[in-house]
Amino acid sequence: MSHLKEHHHEQPVEDAEITSWKKKLIWSWLLTIPIAIIMLSERLLSFSLIEMPYSIIFILVLGFPIIFVFGFSTIKSGLRGFTNFYFNMDSLISLGTIVAYATGIFYFIGIVQDYSGIAAMIMAFFTTGKYVEALARGRASQEIRKLLELGAKKSIVLRNNKELEISIEELKIGDVMIVKPGEKIPTDGIVIRGESSVDESMVSGESLPVDKLKGDNVVGATINQDGILYVKATKIGHDTFLAHIIELVEEAQGSKVPIQKLADKITSVFVPAILILAILTFFNWWYFSEDLSRAIGVGVAVLVIACPCALGLATPTALMVGSGMGANKGILIRKGEAIQTMKEVKIVVFDKTGTITKGKPEVIDIYSKVSKEKLLEIAGSLERLSEHPIAKAVVNKASLKKYKKVTKFKILRGKGVEGEISGKEIIIGNRTLMNEKKINLEDFDKKISDFEEKGNTTMIVVQNKEVIGFIAVADAIKEDSVDALKILNDEGYKTIMITGDNDKTAKAIAKQVGIKEVIANVLPEYKAKKVQELQKRGFVAFVGDGINDAPALKQSNVGIAMGSGTDIAIEAGDLVLAKSSLIGVVQSIRLSKATFRKIKQNLFWAFAYNVIAIPLAVGGVLHPLIAEVAMALSSITVVTNANLLRRAKI
């Protein structure tokens, strides 16, 4: 968990930034207020508190610390731009305030009107804007920050039969952790003693506590509810589920949303362009109005009104809020691009096993020519060698104490298995395999069909080319699959189920959940190809588990990978659902769309602001002070608007 610990150290950075802006803000305003009073009384009330030119000296003295002490970081970073030609936002503000401040000095040579008070106020407003923006940015990242703080810091472990409290960094794989009720499970592990229920909502979004018994996997940072659990640590540090989630979320932050490209391009040339524009504006005004003071005022207004910040913050802030909201619900956005692509999606393709269904099939019936025990002994011995969930169901049902020796074992992917037991050739598999091997299904045919029509999978057992029986296996539909598909169908998505099962089985399941189109008999390796075919009809989102369906997830326009328990396939899927539920698919579609809408709104405001405000400043309509306030408001608006994404119903 050292990874998480590091994040704790980094945590205060954001707060430190806020505190530092706040300090600068308070001091700046303490000095700015007297300046403002003097300026306003002079200009508006034509009443001098301090006689000219002493008032200018007074303002220059008060203004100096505002610009060059409290504004030092801005001036320093801004002026650096003029030495290395990497201009930034600060370059504009620095030039604007320094030029304006200098007019106060030049006033004494009698050339220009004094703008030094304006300079001080611009810096004070800039500092205020930065402070508010930092606050809003902090709010935008609050969910992610909570996620980073989620990890446990200490653990009680059993060493040499003694309970010992250690810090999380000292925890090793294989340590037995003792987790008392109400405590966080320190790291991922497996329960070796005790039973309890565990609140996993923070990592899966699942609100109901999950029962944990001996042999169950538990996730670090989830909260033990009512019993004592003895948990053997299986993953630590960077390898834990939580660390993976954090990695996913951070990765998403770094990924770019295509719509941002234009804004990024503009941002990168924005500041130099504004500098040139300000200089041109200045000379233009000077030449045509023959009023140097006015020209300076307009030039400064152009410098301080331009704001690349709003453009640059438009997408990342919305993405930050969106991915934070997602993480709370167990939806992890891996690629920012997926958010944009999602709105084009017309077709949602679902893998069947493990996605629509629970993926844990059970044996529900057995028909046999020989005794059931005999059939299960053969089937169990053979299927024990396969990792397929259906095979596991058969092995569980057989629960043999002793297995028969199997030779020449072979897995026929998507079809079944074959091998030899005591010299007899055994084949277990589906109808496709039987047709291939030219096995006559004879009297079992009708019964098998009956089962298949109900959506069960039948495993036909063949010994020396003769059918000796079949095992019916059913995989129950997840509780919320029906609801989720109803929502998607109602919202106009074309829903399609894809599966390796035969047509009858597949259609029966599809009918139960409300899917009209079924693509059956698809071997795992052909799923991606089928997705490609469907893409001719429109953008396809593929929903499947991250392990078997990786190629299809990649091929689709948006791949939604279902997490399976405590393991998430990081590489597969543009979106990853920590909770293996189809409602998560509905939520992730809604979240993507809402986030993208917010990004578009933000970009609109940011562009509109600059497109309207810059010409106004060039035209000399805006006072430099108003320009600065407008600039500060533009980035605050964008970040605040991003925070409003939380109101979206997901």
Partner 1 sequence: MTKKKLTIEGMHCASCASNIERSLKKVSGVKDASVILMLKKGTVEAEDSVSEEEIKKAVSKVGYKVVKIE
Q: Which residues are catalytic?
A: 351
Count of residues in contact with partner 1, rule CB under 8 A: 34
Question: Closest CB to partner 1 among 242 and 379?
Answer: 242
Options 89, 219, 296, 417; binder of partner 1; rule CB under 8 A: 89
Question: Closest CB to partner 1 among 244 and 384?
Answer: 244
Interaction between residue 311 and partner 1 (CB under 8 A): yes
Interaction between residue 320 and partner 1 (CB under 8 A): yes
Interaction between residue 96 and partner 1 (CB under 8 A): no
Question: Closest CB to partner 1 among 256 and 593?
Answer: 256
* Residues 481-520 interacting with partner 1 (rule: CB under 8 A): none
Burial string for 169-197 (b: 16+ CB within 10 Å, else e) reads eebeeebebbbeeebbbbbbbbbeebebb
Whether 206 and 579 have beta carbons less than 8 Å apart is answered as yes
**What's the number of CA atoms in the CB half-sphere (13 Å) around residue 52?**
12
At 517, list the tokens.
Answer: 């189109």
Task: From 283, 273, 281, 279, select the one nearest 306 (Cα to Cα).
Answer: 273
Options 46, 47, 51, 84; binder of partner 1; rule CB under 8 A: 84
Interaction between residue 239 and partner 1 (CB under 8 A): no
Interaction between residue 80 and partner 1 (CB under 8 A): yes
Distance in angstroms (rounded) separating the CA atoms of residues 594 and 339: 9
Task: Kindly state the smallest distance separating residue 424's Cβ from partner 1, in Å.
Answer: 54
Interaction between residue 44 and partner 1 (CB under 8 A): no
At 340, list the tokens.
Answer: 């944009």
Task: Kindly state the smallest distance separating residue 85's Cβ from partner 1, in Å.
Answer: 10
Interaction between residue 316 and partner 1 (CB under 8 A): yes
Task: Kindly state the smallest distance separating residue 254's Cβ from partner 1, in Å.
Answer: 5
Question: Closest CB to partner 1 among 395 and 639?
Answer: 639
Query: Which segment (82-90, 184-192, 284-292, 382-390) binds partner 1 by CB under 8 A?
Result: 82-90
Task: Kindly state the smallest distance separating residue 90's Cβ from partner 1, in Å.
Answer: 7
Options 25, 31, 59, 90; binder of partner 1; rule CB under 8 A: 90
Interaction between residue 137 and partner 1 (CB under 8 A): yes
* Residues 526-585 interacting with partner 1 (rule: CB under 8 A): none
Options 77, 601, 637, 640; binder of partner 1; rule CB under 8 A: 77
Interaction between residue 253 and partner 1 (CB under 8 A): yes
Question: Closest CB to partner 1 among 145 and 597?
Answer: 145
Question: Closest CB to partner 1 among 348 and 627?
Answer: 627
CA angle (286, 290, 296) in 5-degree steps: 40
Can you give the length of the chain in residues? 650
Question: Closest CB to partner 1 among 141 and 381?
Answer: 141
Contacting residues for 595 by C-beta, under 8 A, at least 6 apart: 318, 319, 321, 322, 323, 333, 339, 645
Question: Closest CB to partner 1 among 67 and 473?
Answer: 67
Whether 131 and 25 have beta carbons less than 8 Å apart is answered as yes
* Residues 599-628 interacting with partner 1 (rule: CB under 8 A): none
Q: How many CB atoms neighbour CB 584 within 10 A? A: 28
Options 231, 313, 395, 585; binder of partner 1; rule CB under 8 A: 313
Interaction between residue 86 and partner 1 (CB under 8 A): yes
Question: Closest CB to partner 1 among 10 and 479?
Answer: 10
Task: Kindly state the smallest distance separating residue 1's Cβ from partner 1, in Å.
Answer: 15
Question: Closest CB to partner 1 among 40 and 644?
Answer: 644
Distance in angstroms (rounded) separating the CA atoms of residues 242 and 408: 42
Interaction between residue 248 and partner 1 (CB under 8 A): no
Query: Which segment (78-86, 97-105, 363-371, 543-551) binds partner 1 by CB under 8 A?
Result: 78-86
Distance in angstroms (rounded) separating the CA atoms of residues 360 and 508: 18
Options 1, 56, 130, 285; binder of partner 1; rule CB under 8 A: 130
Interaction between residue 11 and partner 1 (CB under 8 A): no
Query: Which segment (75-83, 211-219, 468-476, 526-534) binds partner 1 by CB under 8 A?
Result: 75-83
Element (H, E) at 135: helix 116-140
Interaction between residue 126 and partner 1 (CB under 8 A): no
Distance in angstroms (rounded) separating the CA atoms of residues 646 and 650: 9
* Residues 140-179 interacting with partner 1 (rule: CB under 8 A): 140-141
What does the per-residue mask of binding to partner 1 show for 360-379, with x meaning CB under 8 A? --------------------
φ, ψ for residue 564, nearest 5 deg: -115, 100
Interaction between residue 595 and partner 1 (CB under 8 A): no
Interaction between residue 70 and partner 1 (CB under 8 A): no
Residue 575 CA to its chain's centroid (Å): 7
Interaction between residue 88 and partner 1 (CB under 8 A): yes
Q: Is 461 helix (H, G, I), strand (E, B) or coil?
A: strand
Distance in angstroms (rounded) separating the CA atoms of residues 136 and 331: 23
Distance in angstroms (rounded) separating the CA atoms of residues 614 and 92: 13
Alpha-carbon distances, residue 518 vs 29, 521, 522 (angstroms) = 68, 10, 10
Task: Kindly state the smallest distance separating residue 94's Cβ from partner 1, in Å.
Answer: 12
Task: Kindly state the smallest distance separating residue 317's Cβ from partner 1, in Å.
Answer: 7
Question: Closest CB to partner 1 among 96 and 308?
Answer: 308
Q: How many CB atoms neighbour CB 245 within 10 A? A: 25
Task: From 262, 276, 183, select the one nearest 230 (Cα to Cα).
Answer: 183
Options 94, 116, 196, 317; binder of partner 1; rule CB under 8 A: 317
Alpha-carbon distances, residue 584 vs 33, 315, 352 (angstroms) = 53, 24, 16
Task: Kindly state the smallest distance separating residue 253's Cβ from partner 1, in Å.
Answer: 5
Question: Closest CB to partner 1 among 260 and 355?
Answer: 260
DSSP 564: B
What does the per-residue mask of binding to partner 1 show for 254-273, with x meaning CB under 8 A? xxx-------x--xx-xx--
Long-range own/partner contacts, residues 504-507 (CB < 8 A, 24 or more apart):
504/449, 504/452, 504/453, 504/455, 505/452, 505/455, 505/456, 505/457, 506/352, 506/455, 507/455
Whether 226 and 211 have beta carbons less than 8 Å apart is answered as no
Task: From 65, 62, 39, 61, select the one nearest 50 (Cα to Cα).
Answer: 39
Helices (H), 344-430: 372-383, 389-398
Distance in angstroms (rounded) separating the CA atoms of residues 636 and 624: 19
The residue ranges that bind partner 1 (CB under 8 A) are 10, 13, 17, 77, 80-81, 84, 86-90, 130, 137, 140-141, 250, 253-256, 264, 267-268, 270-271, 308-309, 311-313, 316-317, 320
